[in-house]
Structure 1
Amino acid sequence: MDNNGISDLYASIFSGTTGLIALVFYILVAVGLWKVFTKAGYPGILAIIPIVNLVFLVKIAGMSGWFALLYLIPIVNLVLAIIVAFKLGARFDKGGVFSFFLLVLFPYIGYLILGFGDSRYSKA
């Protein structure tokens, strides 16, 4: 197999099905975030704007929106994502296990549970 054949193989693997699956997961997270933003008193439409949703997610977690810039730094973004997940879970009266597994590892499930569940947002 020559280089052209390998690139065609990669193009076929990462184009159709994988792109569709990624789109489905993005839509699930956006729908969950829409409801989370609404519960926190922010317009839900902000959930579908890629960088803006991080700024407001950090704000909902009780931190300054400027911390969202730390998502641009490798390794630091992983640590920040965990911190934001734990603080966000605490704002919705969820424990650390929920925050780690459903907001860090499986956010497409966790945000739907926060948004459509019976948990309430508290600013304190």
Structure 2
Amino acid sequence: MDSNLLSEQIFSTSSAVLGIIFYVIYAITMWKVFVKAGYPGILALIPIVNWVFLVKIAGMSGWFALLYLIPFVNIIFAIVVAIKEGANFGKGGVFSFFLLWLFPFIGHLIIGFGSAQYRKV
């Protein structure tokens, strides 16, 4: 067996396992964020539905989640949602931009397991 092929298989397998671990941790984190906002946590696990409720957590109509489907508009909209979501959890704009939009894995972990309380602004 070729050693390059073996190393590629090991790298591929370890990447997949690492990806699954990160997904499970993020799913648990989003579940906690949804529960803190008063929504059933299971909604965080359903693709596209989680966008609708994340937009609702940000204080907007769930119909605005359709903007995620429009190229380029979705980037601006995601920033707006992150800033409004952060404000509803008592976080500032810098936290929201960097940790809810740019690095949502970290930001939602802080909100989900931290002391932040949801209050619709």
Q: What range is the shorter-chain TM-score in? A: 0.7 to 0.9
- Equivalent of residue 110 in structure 1, options 107, 110, 120: 107
In 1: Cα distance, 2:94 partner to 2:20 partner: 27
Q: Which stretches of structure 1, 4 residues or longer, exceed 2 Å deviation after superposition?
A: 11-29
Once the two structures are superposed, residues 35-71 of structure 1 have per-residue CA deviations (whole angstroms, 9 ceiling, x without a partner) of 1110111000111111111100000100010011111
> 1:33 touches 1:44 (CA, 8 Å); kept in 2?
yes
Aligned to 2:26: 29
- Equivalent of residue 78 in structure 1, options 68, 75, 78: 75
SS at 2:48 equivalent: helix
Any stretches of 5+ residues in structure 2 without a counterpart?
Answer: none
TM-score, normalised via structure 2 length = 0.85
Q: How much has 1:25 moved relative to structure 2? A: 3.0
Any stretches of 5+ residues in structure 1 without a counterpart?
Answer: 1-7
In 1: Cα distance, 2:35 partner to 2:42 partner: 9
SS at 1:50 equivalent: coil
In 2: Cα distance, 1:67 partner to 1:14 partner: 40
Alignment of 1:40-59 (within 5 A): 40-59=37-56
Residue 62 and residue 14 in structure 1: after superposition, are their counterparts in 2 closer, same or farther (change >3 A)?
farther
Once the two structures are superposed, residues 59-94 of structure 1 have per-residue CA deviations (whole angstroms, 9 ceiling, x without a partner) of 010001001111111111111110000000000010
Aligned sequence identity (%):
66
Cα RMSD for the two superposed structures: 1.9
In 2: Cα distance, 1:54 partner to 1:13 partner: 34
Matched, 1:87 2:84: yes
Higher relative contact order (CA 8 A, sep 6+): 1
SS at 1:115 equivalent: helix
Residue 96 and residue 74 in structure 1: after superposition, are their counterparts in 2 closer, same or farther (change >3 A)?
same
Residue 20 and residue 122 in structure 1: after superposition, are their counterparts in 2 closer, same or farther (change >3 A)?
same
> 1:29 touches 1:107 (CA, 8 Å); kept in 2?
no
